[in-house]
Amino acid sequence: MATKSGAQKNARKGEPEGEGVFKTSVSARHALDRVFSVLVFVAAMIGLVVLAVLLVDIARDGLPRLSWAFITSFPSVIPQNSGIYPALLGSLWLLGLTAILSVPLGIGAAVYLEEYAPDNWLTRLIEVNISNLAGVPSIIYGLLGLGIFVNLLGGITGGQSIVSGALTLSLLILPVIIIATREALRTIPGAVREGGYALGATRWEVIRSHLLPMALPGALTGTILALSRAIGETAPLIVVGAATYITFAPDSPLSSYSALPIQIYSWVSQPQPAFQLAAAAGIVVLMVVLLLTNSVAIWLRNKYQRRG
Amino acid sequence: MAVNAEQRGPSGEGMWQRESRARHFRERAIKIVLAACAYVSVLTTFGIVFVLLFETVNFFREVSIVEFFTSTTWSAAFANPQFGILVLASGTLLTTLIAIAVALPVGLLAAIFLSEYASPGLRRWLKPALEILAGVPTIVYGYFALTFVTPLLRETILPSMTIFNALSAGLVMGVMIIPTIASVSEDAIHAVPRSLREGAYALGATKRETATRIVLPAALSGIVAATILGISRAVGETMIVAVAAGNLAQLTANPLESVQTMTAFIVQVASGDTPTGSLTYNTIFAVGSTLFVMTLILNIVSYVFVRRFREAY
């Protein structure tokens, strides 16, 4: 500010030293500019460098430990014999149940808010509430699940069961699904709806035959990203009582369970280095599962976009 | 004609009405079902508040509220337990400060790069690539902090550091938060009108001067929102601190020592066998309530700032 007003004064009076000050500072200013442009570039790359180091580190620790036996064995007190089989199955159970519970709820809520809800304080309250829920720490959802699903409704859910875990995760990812689906619905032009109504279709008929298929790619991508977040969640599952040491494969929604991140946490917490390597191998399995679900998301989106 | 209409009238009308009634009924039923889906989110909030409040009230029946907020000792698991939330809050504060010290400068500069410097092509792949950082499960970051960052720091510059320490956990948490701060700041920077930049260039300002003296102040409310959102993430982050920061509840400002955060305490108690209704069981809800109120306030403040930058231009 000071230099600017100074330069203005000089320009007005036409003093020669103003020009001199301006000239000498230009090269310095441009030098500073070059330093700054390097700085911002480095800042943008730091995150990616750390990500690369992290992936290499985990691959280096985990890949040698990874084997078919690791995937098909049960955990053991002997680190070399420990496997991830029940945790992997538990994660798949959780993934399936969470999807069944959260996808219809999330899409239903999004359709209501975008297509039906009147513009009043109640609707705005729901909207603010959803964006607020998206910012609640995941461990708080764990406490909710512990209080409601495990203890209050323990008679129905079987207490510390897969259902309790899946219900907790469903509530956790519901805001993400709702927000993604609403955005997908919002991009559909109003003419599509009006065309449907003009032909005598009811609101629901327009939604079912036109809006949902058109919103599907966007909604699906958001949903699968939300589900992959659910697979990686650890804290809420610990709170709702996922077991860290389990010697049988879960066979029903009411059985007790472990999950990949829980198993990894349990191994990381062990002092023996051999368990740390098992944790790294478990992380590799977890990352592969995440990669697969994300690939499915991208594949589905491309498939439906081409058709649309 | 009139007779014809009279003859056809009743049956035609009847058919139409029947179908119309069925359609109306179906439409209304569907609307109610969909509205019920939307209200699940309201129920979730009520559920959270109810559970936290209920168990916290039980907790304060046994522990004095004054002790909870003023005691400087936290020893929930011992025979003569002391509950000073300040101890856990200081652990949370320490790791959060370290994380923000990393994430704010890096995220902000990255946002400037994305918005002002990067070519559209680079921007298109760099933004989603940065988002991957936010998608890595936090347990993976915890493993990374404990088995890579801590040994690295201990072997090179900080040999006095304990194996479990606030610094590694905070640093890695900072990396995790970079995309949050970068992405929200970038939105705010992007929303600054082009005319402001052009005005600055016309006055002879360089690109850096325009970015730091014109664009950044104009996007300030969005950047504040991004920072608060980042703080909220760091406060609620659990697994990195549970794995890498140790679980030693002590009042310290030394980042080279072990600390216990509020989230890590909940995980520690939940990992063990705690009978429902016991004092320890109620404790995690009291700590959870404190955590919930803190993040709620942060999220509301951030929301207010986001609205301000959206409405500014």
Q: In this structure, are residues B179 and B130 in contact, taking their beta carbons and an 8 Å threshold?
A: yes
For B37, the closest of A47, A51, A105 (CB atoms) is A105
Higher pLDDT, A19 or B162: B162
Q: In this structure, are residues B30 and A205 in contact, taking their beta carbons and an 8 Å threshold?
A: no
DSSP letter, residue A81: G
3-state secondary structure of B74: strand
Tell me if ipTM is over 0.90: no
Confidence of residue B81 (pLDDT cuts 50, 70, 90): confident
* Mean pLDDT of the A75-99 span: 89
Q: Is A241 left (phi over 0), alpha (psi -120 to 50) or beta?
A: left
d(CA A44, CA A248): 46
d(CA B267, CA A137): 13
For chain A, what percent of residues have pLDDT higher than 70? 91
The structure tokens 């009147």 sit at A118
d(CA A262, CA B75): 26
pLDDT digits (tens, 9 = 90+) for B5-38: 444 444 444 444 556 778 888 889 999 999 999 9
Confidence of residue B311 (pLDDT cuts 50, 70, 90): low
Alpha carbon of residue A287 to chain centroid: 13
d(CA B313, CA A15): 39
Alpha carbon of residue A129 to chain centroid: 19
- Which residues in A lie closer than 8 A to residue B285 (C-beta atoms)? 143, 147
d(CA A269, CA A262): 11
Query: Residue A99: how many CA atoms within 13 Å on its side-chain side?
Result: 15
Q: How many helices (H) and strands (E) does chain B have?
A: 14, 0
Tokens of A261: 């991140």
Report the predicted TM-score, pTM, of the whole model to 2 decimal places: 0.86
DSSP letter, residue B122: H
CA–CA min distance A240, chain B (Å)? 8
Query: Which DSSP string do the residues of A143-187 spell out, in sequence order?
Result: HHHIIIIIIITHHHHTSSSHHHHHHHHHHHHHHHHHHHHHHHHHT
CA–CA min distance B83, chain A (Å)? 19
pLDDT digits (tens, 9 = 90+) for B188-246: 898 899 999 999 999 988 999 999 999 999 998 889 989 999 999 999 999 999 999 88
A172, B244, B79, A237 alpha-carbon torsion, rounded to 10°: 20
- Which residues in B lie closer than 8 A to residue A235 (C-beta atoms)? 138, 238-239, 242, 263, 266-267
